[in-house]
Structures are given as C-alpha cells and as structure tokens.
C-alpha cells in the first residue's frame, strides 16, 4: 500500500483522532461503566454471605499465591503487546508474529489459571447460586475472562495477518487499537485482584 493510499485509508474525526481509535475509546468508556457496576455490586454484597464457602479466613477458598502468578502472567502479556506494536511499527514481521503469539499465549495461560480456579471452587461447593459471594464472584471474574478470551482471538487474527504479510507498518494502528483493548483488560484485572484477593 502506497503512502498516499494509506493516508486515504485513515478516517480522522474533528478531534484529529482516527475514527477507529476513537470508537475503541468509546467502547472502553462503556466497558468501564459495565465493569464499574459489577465491581460495585461485588463490594455491596462483600461479606454478606450467610452460608459458606467463604473467600477469606481459616477455611477461605482464595489461593492468593496462585492468583498472584496468574496476575503476573497477564501483566507480562501487556509488555509483550507493547513489543508487538513496536515490531509492526518498524516492519519487523518476525518480531510481530513472535510477540503477538506470546501475548495470546500469556492471555490463554491466564484463562487456564482461571479455569483451574473455577473448577476448584466448584469442587469445594461454591457455585453461582450457593451464596452472594459465589454469585458476584463468578459473574465479575467470568465476564472479565470472557473479555480476555475475545482479546486472545483478536491477537491470533492479527498474528495470522502478520504471517500472511498483511500487517505492514502502515497498519500499525490496527495493532495499537488491539493493544489499547488488551491494556484495558489488564487494568480491570488489577482492580479486581486487589478488591477480591488482597482486601479481606
């Protein structure tokens, strides 16, 4: 794609921001409200369960060391995402493929930790309808996990595009937009991890 064609392909708004990027920021704003309502619901019902299992205490279900590892994995995926964007911007196809795949694999690893945790909780008797903690916990973390899964698929599509020589530097904005979404998902998890796991 020529530089002139690349310029035509960009759709700037009156703010000077590409319409696709602005659209992503609008989506992030709406998603912030969505997660804000879920987090607020969790905080309102926090500690209100009258029957176990409970998250904290001597017999608490939460495995903070394990979840800390999964949190570290997700945060490292943000670093990989930054490196992937840089690789695309400097036309490093091999680097783009490597770091997009690494980001997707780290995201999938986080989902693996979450699946293990959900399974463990289920075996311990915690279900969606068991108590207020189960309902608010599974809904909040489940929706977050769904967002991570969407991000993983998005990253794999971009990696396939790079593999097919369809992700030149002129399309770096596509990776930047995916990166903004991915970083948002990571930031949301930091809030969730702090409120659910670290604060008793």
Handedness of CA 56, 60, 62, 65 (dihedral sign): positive
Strand partners, 12: 18
DSSP SS3 for 166: coil
E strand map for the chain: none
Is pLDDT at 15 greater than 80 in this prediction?
no
Is pLDDT at 98 greater than 50 in this prediction?
yes
185-199 tens-digit pLDDT: 999 999 999 999 999
Q: How far, in Å, CA of 129 to CA of 122, rounded?
A: 11
Q: How far is CA 21 from the centre of its chain?
A: 18
Q: How far, in Å, CA of 161 to CA of 166, rounded?
A: 5
Domain ranges of the chain: 18-198
What was the pLDDT predicted at 58? 83
What was the pLDDT predicted at 81? 98
Q: How far, in Å, CA of 195 to CA of 193, rounded?
A: 6
Q: Which CATH architecture fits 18-198?
A: Up-down Bundle (1.20)
100-156 tens-digit pLDDT: 999 999 999 999 999 999 999 999 999 999 999 999 999 999 999 999 999 999 999
**Which DSSP state fits 174?**
H
Q: Indicate the average pLDDT of the chain.
A: 92
Q: What are phi and psi of 4, to 5 degrees?
A: -65, -45
* CA angle at 147 for the pair 37 and 104, rounded to the nearest 5°: 150
Q: How far, in Å, CA of 136 to CA of 152, rounded?
A: 24
Q: How far, in Å, CA of 162 to CA of 165, rounded?
A: 5
Map tokens 């979840």 to a residue.
67
The closest of 177, 175, 183, 156 to 92, measured between CA atoms, is 175
């Amino acid at each position: 794609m020529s530089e002139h064609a690349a310029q035509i392909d960009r759709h700037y708004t009156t703010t000077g921001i590409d319409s696709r990027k602005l659209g992503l920021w609008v989506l992030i704003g709406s998603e912030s409200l969505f997660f804000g309502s879920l987090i607020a619901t969790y905080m309102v019902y926090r500690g209100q369960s009258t029957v176990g299992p409970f998250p904290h205490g001597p017999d608490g279900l939460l495995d903070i060391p394990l979840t800390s590892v999964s949190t570290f994995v997700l945060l490292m995926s943000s670093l990989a995402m930054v490196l992937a964007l840089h690789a695309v911007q400097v036309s490093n196809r091999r680097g783009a493929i490597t770091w997009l795949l690494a980001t997707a694999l780290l995201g999938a690893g986080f989902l693996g930790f979450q699946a293990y945790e959900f399974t463990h909780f289920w075996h311990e008797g915690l279900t969606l309808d068991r108590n207020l903690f189960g309902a608010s916990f599974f809904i909040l973390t489940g929706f977050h996990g769904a967002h991570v899964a969407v991000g993983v698929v998005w990253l794999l599509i971009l990696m396939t595009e790079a593999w097919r020589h369809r992700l030149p530097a002129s399309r770096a904005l596509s990776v930047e937009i995916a990166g903004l979404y991915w970083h948002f998902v990571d930031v949301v998890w930091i809030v969730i991890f702090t409120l659910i796991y670290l604060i008793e």
